């Protein structure tokens, strides 16, 4: 429990150092450290990553995401089968009270397709996370250079 708190505080500290994190006032959901890698030239798709924490007393269910800057946004999961990396859609993701979930390279990600225009390092891409109860949680994903690790 303490460890989880420390981890969350570390995440929040990280978010204050330049990566915006937005906590909706009327929910106990916190999104932190949202980012995505600049797509290679000519590619209009990108995967966004973030950490989502449920500090409330009730479980929530993430059912999707959207962005005004992409034609379609889907929750995806990468997995390796027989040495081949594949992605599959996540239709919903349960987040228990006090739980958190990470979207990170090689695992869950938020897939943006049909980007409205090319992205450059330092740009921010607005994301909205959609929950089964109608809650919408906004985040701004920072674009990092293609070559950055
Ligand atoms: Cu994907």
Q: Is 115 a member of any domain? A: yes
Q: What is the pLDDT of residues 28-81, one digit of tens each?
A: 999 999 999 999 999 999 999 999 999 999 999 999 999 999 999 999 999 888
Structure-token pair, residue 19: 């990566």
* Ligand 1 midpoint to CA 1 (Å): 32
Q: Is 129 a member of any domain? A: yes
Domain that residue 54 falls in: 2-144
Q: What is the pLDDT of residues 8-29, one digit of tens each?
A: 444 444 443 334 444 444 569 9
Instruction: Supply the pLDDT for residue 148.
Output: 63
How many CB atoms are closer than 10 A to CB 88? 9
At 4, the pLDDT band (50, 70, 90 cuts) reads: low
Q: Is 149 a member of any domain? A: no
* Ligand 1 midpoint to CA 83 (Å): 17
Q: What is the pLDDT of residues 63-75, one digit of tens each?
A: 999 999 999 999 9
Do residues 31 and 144 touch, judged by C-beta distance below 8 A? Answer: no
* Ligand 1 midpoint to CA 51 (Å): 17
Q: Is 147 exposed, middle or buried (0-12, 13-18, 19+ CB in 10 A)?
A: exposed
Query: Residues with beta carbon < 5 A to ion ligand 1?
Result: 76, 87, 111
CATH of the domain at 133: 2.60.40.1890
- Nearest of 100, 98, 106 to residue 32 by alpha carbon: 100
Counting the structural domains of the chain, the total is 1
At 131, the pLDDT band (50, 70, 90 cuts) reads: very high
Question: In angstroms, how far is CA 87 from the centroid of its own chain?
Answer: 16
């Amino acid at each position: 429990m303490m460890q989880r708190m420390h981890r969350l505080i570390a995440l929040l500290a990280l978010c204050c150092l330049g990566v915006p994190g937005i906590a909706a006032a009327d929910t106990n959901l916190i999104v932190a450290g949202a980012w995505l890698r600049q797509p290679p030239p000519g590619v209009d798709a990108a995967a966004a990553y973030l950490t989502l924490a449920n500090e409330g007393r009730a479980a929530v269910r993430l059912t999707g995401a959207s962005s005004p800057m992409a034609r379609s946004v889907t929750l995806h999961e990468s997995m390796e089968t027989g040495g081949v990396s594949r992605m599959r859609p996540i239709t919903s993701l349960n987040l228990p009270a006090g739980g958190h979930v990470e979207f990170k390279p090689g695992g869950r990600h938020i897939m943006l397709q049909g980007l409205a225009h090319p992205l450059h390092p330092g740009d921010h891409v607005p994301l909205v996370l959609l929950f089964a109860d109608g809650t919408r949680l906004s985040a701004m994903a920072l674009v990092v250079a293609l070559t950055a690790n």
